[in-house]
Amino acid sequence: MKPFNHLAGKHLEGDGAKIYYEPTGAEDGPVLLFLHGGFGSIEDFNPVLAGLQKDFRVIGIDSRGQGKSTLGEDALTYGRVQKDVERVLDHLGIDTLSVIGFSDGGIAAYRLASLTSLKVEKLVTIGSRWHLKNTESVRELLAKVTGESWPRLASRRSVVLPEQ
């Protein structure tokens, strides 16, 4: 099976941005949606795809302003990402699915499962929070992160965050 490659997908235009999505796997299988983390792309999930593609219709979506999706003029919020994902799923005729979300993608997945009429059968999130309680200690640090600084920060072998 083939990994996400940013060549086999399409863009869906709406609300001032072009959102890139890429389907792969078993066309008649249950839908498994992948939502990546901040400053990432669907290619981040390639290491786990091979074990899933034979049984699932896998859909990867690049979040607004990341991967092959354009940013548009709207502010980038979790609500905005949720709406973009809903638009792609509606376009594909999908209303029942399972979701794997990493970090920001997991937060968008929580929103899809709790704030929409989608039938989310299974939900897996990694490194995601539903609320922002107890995050004051890292907000100042995260407010300084940019697209240019993230690769440098993420490449460090270990990052020590304050106790929460």
Contact assessment for residue 97 and residue 118, using Cβ atoms and an 8 Å cutoff: yes
Q: In this predicted model, what pLDDT tens digit does every residue of 109-139 receive, in sequence order? A: 999 999 999 999 999 999 988 766 666 666 6
**3-class state of residue 84 by DSSP:** helix
Q: Residue 63 and residue 82: Cα distance in Å, rounded?
A: 9
Query: Which domains does the chain carry?
Result: 10-132 (3.40.50.1820)
In this structure, what DSSP letter does residue 135 have? Answer: -
Helices (H), the chain: 46-49, 78-91, 104-115, 136-143, 150-154
Residue 87 DSSP one-character state: H
The proportion of the chain whose per-residue pLDDT surpasses 70, expressed as a percent, equals: 84
* pTM for this model (two decimals): 0.82
Write the pLDDT tens digit of every residue in 61-114. Answer: 999 999 999 999 988 899 999 999 999 999 999 999 999 999 999 999 999 999
Decide: 59 and 32 in contact? Cβ < 8 Å: yes
